[in-house]
Amino acid sequence: MPRALWTGAISFGLVNVPVRMYSAISEHKLHFNYIHEKDGSRIGYEKVCKKEGKPVPEDEIVKAFEWEKGEYVPMRDEDFEKAQEDTYKSIDIRDFVDYEAIDPIYFERTYYLGPQEGAEKVYALLVRAMEESGRAAIAKFVMRDRQSLGCVRVADGTLVLEKMYFADEIRKPEGLAPDIKKGDVDKREVEMAQALIDKLYGPFEPEQYKDTYRDTLCEIIKAKRAGETIAEPKAEQPKAAPDLMAALKASLEGVTAEQPVSNGGDLSKLSKDELYKRAQKADISGRADMTKDELVEALGAA
């Protein structure tokens, strides 16, 4: 059972649903340390007073808000507690909306909400009511000295809280979109692009997407540990296609050529670069050091 990050209650009208919050994400990050390259020792950091030039003990460090340049207002724990008011330890539901109507740009991070002991029945009631209504709840809550907006929804019989940004935190994309009139795009190019979209269309299956960068980085770490020399890749800055129609046509042909062996596809006819891209999608270990024939053999066995 994971450790609860927050304990409180969902406020639903006059009904309270005592819950515990758990992270729904388990990121598989590679963690690196800074070291002194000369002797391999870890680099340490000290909290130093810039005025005195001396290290400062933890009990002398406080949070402060910079009101004006160089003017700080020190803050204590009780100051933050006073600001929490009625939303302290409460996920206060304000409205119910259609989940599909929320732009994903507002979502920041996902948490699971599980019932506290003795709250199973009222928790199940809210889950059942929300499932049958097909709606999601918009709520406000305070966590880690900050009020947040949240969306509560149901997934697999469990309440899920999507931490959200407030509207004034979302930047407008002003000046980013090119000023292109409708007539500036050729109809045949649009039709070709739509055909490419149709070719790549399919159900969303998150399991098929792998963190190939992390896997390749692990392979490089293993190779460096073994004293092997790593060849530097030839990275090129992507450029817009000079002939858009030709690029669209080649893309369509490439997607059509990506047929599994069972459908008559011959892997040996593909280039090494095409084989490597397939090996990335298939998450084949050691692909970076494989020859073309080895890639064909590994993909055939996958």
For residue 235, being part of any structural domain is answered with no
Interior/surface letters 28-49, b for 16+ CB within 10 angstroms, e for the rest: eeeeeeeeeeeeeeeeeeeeee
pLDDT value for 263 = 36
Q: How confident is the model at residue 84 (pLDDT cuts 50, 70, 90)?
A: low
Confidence band, pLDDT 50/70/90 cuts, at residue 241: low
**Percent of the residues in the chain that have a pLDDT greater than 70, as a whole number:** 90
Between 289 and 31, whose confidence is greater?
31
pLDDT at 171: 93
Rounded CA gap, 287 and 81, in Å? 54
Using one digit for the tens of pLDDT, what is the confidence trace for 249-277?
A: 887 777 765 555 433 457 887 777 778 77
Domain count, the chain: 1
Burial 216-232 (b: 16+ CB within 10 A, else e): eeebeeeeeeeeeeeee
51 part of a folded domain: no
Instruction: Read off the pLDDT of each residue in 67-92 and give the average, rounded to a whole number.
Output: 79
Per-residue model confidence as pLDDT tens digits over 36-47: 888 989 988 889
3 state SS of 129: helix
C-alpha to C-alpha distance for 136 and 10, rounded to whole angstroms: 13
Question: Among 25-34, 48-57, 228-237, whose mean pLDDT is lowest?
Answer: 228-237
Residue 237 phi, psi (nearest 5): -70, 125
- 87 pLDDT exceeds 60? no
- pLDDT tens digit sequence for 205-220: 888 778 777 888 888 8
Instruction: Assess whether pLDDT exceeds 50 at residue 119.
Output: yes
Q: What confidence tens digit (pLDDT) does each residue in 166-198 have?
A: 999 999 988 888 777 766 778 888 888 888 888
- CA pair distance 203, 299, nearest whole angstrom: 23
The tens digit of pLDDT for each residue in 121-156 reads 999 999 999 999 999 999 999 887 788 999 999 999
Residue 46 lies in a domain: no
Does residue 181 fall inside a structural domain?
no
Residue 99: Cβ within 10 Å count: 14
Read off the CATH number of the domain in which 108 is found. Answer: 2.40.290.10
Q: Kindly state whether residue 258 falls inside one of the protein's structural domains.
A: no
Please check whether residue 112 is in contact with residue 22, taking contact to mean a CB–CB distance below 8 angstroms: yes
Model-wide pTM > 0.75: no
Confidence of residue 281 (pLDDT cuts 50, 70, 90): confident
| 277, part of any domain | no
Nearest to 197 by CA among 255, 120, 111, 126: 255
Q: Is residue 63 part of a domain?
A: no
Q: Is residue 35 part of a domain?
A: no
Q: What is the pLDDT of residue 159?
A: 97
Residues of the domain holding 134: 6-26+81-169
pLDDT for 238 beyond 60: yes
Comparing C-alpha atoms, which of 187, 176, 90, 97 is closest to residue 140?
90
Question: What pLDDT is attached to residue 85?
Answer: 58
Q: What is the mean pLDDT of the chain?
A: 84
